[in-house]
Structure 1
Amino acid sequence: MNKLFGYTRVSTLDQNLDTQLDALHKAGCDEIFQDKITGVSTSRPALNTLLTQLRPGDTVMVARFFRLGRSRDHLISLLGEFARNGIHFKALDLGVDSTTAAGKLVLQIFSALAEYNRESILEKTRAGQLLAKAKGKHIGRPTGLDAEKFAKVKKALERGLSVAETVSLTGISMSSVKRYRKQLEKTSL
């Protein structure tokens, strides 16, 4: 049996959920999940619990459209995930209902705008990287070895310490220790 799940969120502990809860109760939600947390917070315990309970054919309803996601991109990502998994979505304040043609159109427009935004950001990033490279700036991990760290790793590995023990002893990152170990193996061949 398909369920109608409600979700509410307020940004601060002194705000209350009453108006959102009232609207969702009147709309007939079977179960309502509530978060009192800032919009930019990545931790949404109630939303995470809701997402684990959703099955194809279920509906997620919000009283206010912008309360579902922590950002525009997160909201669009959630809506895309719902669509891929056969989950319906309704926002009471905007009258958006993914089961209707008009609702699907609105959500597709939002999705297209988010994709355009992502592509635009990638283009700007690539252009900035090319410009920096043209000016002779190195992009990415620094080239070469840190002689001091390399010597520490070499000494630790020669003493028979494992990679994990070397990391613990030297404070050098796991990836660097492994990279230095590969260098040592190449030179000893």
Structure 2
Amino acid sequence: MLIGYARVSTDDQKLNLQMDALQQAGCAKIYSDHISGVKAARPGLSQALEIARAGDVLVVWRLDRLGRSLKDLIEIISQLDERGIELSSLSESITTTNNSGRLIFHLFGALAEFERNLIRERTTAGLVAARARGHKGGRPKALDSAKRQLAVKLYTEKQYTIVEICRLMGISKPTLYSYIAEINR
């Protein structure tokens, strides 16, 4: 079964062009959204994906009507592929029902993975450079070294309960336990 999906971003845009093209393509059911592609929740798309079964084809007028970004598009296509649902884009004449269409989507996927790896490499290099300049990552300690030692001392002397120590020092139980573990290393 061919299942159509159409989306326009603003209220002044009309679905007519997309709906006509999807009907002409032979879609038995057509779902639509009047919502920006930036929004993650798209009820029409959710309905279309809900009723689609293995062997069905999700048909869109253009690929940008389906995904918010290349990454989002690839994720949707991967979900479709896992469920045995094909995808067809009318304007780009791309379909996963044939080998050349699948190749194009694999190339898209490879490019997206390459981009993710570049971002990861840049992030790692930035962190290494920051550490080399003496910057430490993570959240700063709630207490300075002397106060941390005092909190641990109060704990080991067992004159106060853990709740009392935490209230006195203005810290949480997990923070106190992490200070204890830090000093006992």
Write the distance in 2 (CA, Å) between the matches of 1:87 and 1:178.
Answer: 50
**SS of equivalent to 2:30:** strand
Structure 1 residues 185, 121: CA separation in 2 closer, same or farther (over 3 Å shift)?
Answer: closer
Which of 50, 53, 60 is the matching residue for 1:52?
A: 50
Letter in 2 for 1:180: T
Shift of 1:50: 2.1
* TM-score between both structures, scaled by the size of structure 2: 0.78
* TM-score between both structures, scaled by the size of structure 1: 0.76
User: In structure 1, what is the equivalent of residue 175 of structure 2?
Assistant: 180
**SS of equivalent to 1:93:** coil
Which deviations, in whole Å up to 9, do the C-alpha atoms of 1:87-144 show, x marking residues without a partner?
Answer: 10000001111011111111111111111111111111111111111111112233x2
Q: Quick check: 2:4–2:22 contact (8 Å CA) kept in 1?
A: yes
Aligned length: 167
User: In structure 1, what is the equivalent of residue 156 of structure 2?
Assistant: none
Percent identity between the aligned chains? 38
* Structure 1: segments with no counterpart, 5+ residues: 160-165, 167-171
**SS of equivalent to 1:129:** helix
Shift of 1:58: 1.6
User: In structure 2, what is the equivalent of residue 33 of structure 1?
Assistant: 31
**SS of equivalent to 1:8:** strand
Write the distance in 1 (CA, Å) between the matches of 2:26 and 2:11.
Answer: 26
User: In structure 2, what is the equivalent of residue 102 of structure 1?
Assistant: 100
Write the distance in 2 (CA, Å) between the matches of 1:48 and 1:74.
Answer: 14
Write the distance in 2 (CA, Å) between the matches of 1:48 and 1:32.
Answer: 12
Write the distance in 2 (CA, Å) between the matches of 1:134 and 1:99.
Answer: 51
**SS of equivalent to 2:55:** coil
User: In structure 2, what is the equivalent of residue 84 of structure 1?
Assistant: 82
More displaced 10-residue stretch of structure 1: 32-41 or 88-97: 32-41
Q: Quick check: 1:80–1:111 contact (8 Å CA) kept in 2?
A: no
* Structure 2: segments with no counterpart, 5+ residues: 152-159
Write the distance in 2 (CA, Å) between the matches of 1:9 and 1:56.
Answer: 23
CA RMSD of aligned residues (A): 2.9
